């Protein structure tokens, strides 16, 4: 019994010495692989523009809305009405006896503007049809393909101003086409434009631009 007790004591002492020699340490945390102090990058997509937002005018002050006239020392101009169509009927060709119908081509449409023009100078002014144009926010420019002017002091619907075959006024057809603006009159112009652009800016000589949104008009 004494031998057993001595061996037991020796065994306990030996275990204590071994633990003291090896030491006991606290468990350490493991750093994540690829860890960095740099902030995480958030991949956010910028909102796309919508058709409800009007683009800025190309290189000019904020354009006027269509409901309001624009004016300088020489003219006051107001867009009265808009019509869009897929063909223009110029009536009967007297030489051929056939009806003259023009189409805009694939991807295009005709946009007709009815405009009231007041000449403030007191004398007739010569205006080229290239003084009337549409421009988009990329500064692409369109001139009218047909145009007619009627001088009158009476109120009228400018879309009823008659356009005839010889009223082709695009510069590719007649670069010198022009008309004489009296004290008061109405202009009807027909543009051939792409269907996929809703917003344009209407220019008349050096007057401020007028914003044109044709989608509400038939």
Candidate from 106-120, 170-184, 194-208 with smallest mean pLDDT? 194-208
pLDDT tier at 218 (50, 70, 90 boundaries)? low
| Sign of the torsion formed by the C-alpha atoms of 72, 81, 88 and 51 | positive
- φ, ψ for residue 160, nearest 5 deg: -95, 0
Which two structure tokens, joined as six digits, stand for 46? 């910028």
Residue 218 exposure: Cα atoms within 13 Å on the Cβ side? 0
Domain boundaries, the chain: 70-216
For residue 164, the model assigns a pLDDT of 83
Asked whether residue 153 carries a pLDDT value surpassing 70, the answer given is: yes
Task: Specify whether the CB–CB gap between 209 and 154 falls below 8 A.
Answer: no
Return d(Cα 146, Cα 104) in angstroms, integer: 12
pLDDT top residue among 54 and 124: 124
Q: Is the pTM of this model over 0.85?
A: no
For residue 51, the model assigns a pLDDT of 33
Average pLDDT, integer, range 57-67:
65
Return d(Cα 55, Cα 28) in angstroms, integer: 60
pLDDT tier at 47 (50, 70, 90 boundaries)? very low
Fold of 70-216: Immunoglobulin-like (2.60.40)
Asked whether residue 109 carries a pLDDT value surpassing 60, the answer given is: yes
For residue 37, give the 3-state DSSP assignment: coil
């Amino acid at each position: 019994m004494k031998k057993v007790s001595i061996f037991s004591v020796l065994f306990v002492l030996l275990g204590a010495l071994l633990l003291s020699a090896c030491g006991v340490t606290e468990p350490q945390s493991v750093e994540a692989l690829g860890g960095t102090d740099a902030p995480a990058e958030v991949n956010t997509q910028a909102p796309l523009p919508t058709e409800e937002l009007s683009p800025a005018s190309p290189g000019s002050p904020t354009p006027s809305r269509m409901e309001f006239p624009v004016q300088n020392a020489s003219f006051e101009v107001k867009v009265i009405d808009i019509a869009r169509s897929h063909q223009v009927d110029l009536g009967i060709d007297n030489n051929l006896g056939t009806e003259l119908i023009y189409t805009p081509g694939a991807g295009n449409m005709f946009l007709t503007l009815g405009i009231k023009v007041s000449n403030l100078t007191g004398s007739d002014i010569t205006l080229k049809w290239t003084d009337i144009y549409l421009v988009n926010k990329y500064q692409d420019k369109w001139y009218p393909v047909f145009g007619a002017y009627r001088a009158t002091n009476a109120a009228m619907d400018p879309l009823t101003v008659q356009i005839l075959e010889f009223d082709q006024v695009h510069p590719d057809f007649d670069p010198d086409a022009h008309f004489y603006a009296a004290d008061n009159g109405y202009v009807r112009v027909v543009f051939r434009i792409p269907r996929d652009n809703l917003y344009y800016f209407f220019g008349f000589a050096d007057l401020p631009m007028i914003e044109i949104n044709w989608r509400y008009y038939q």
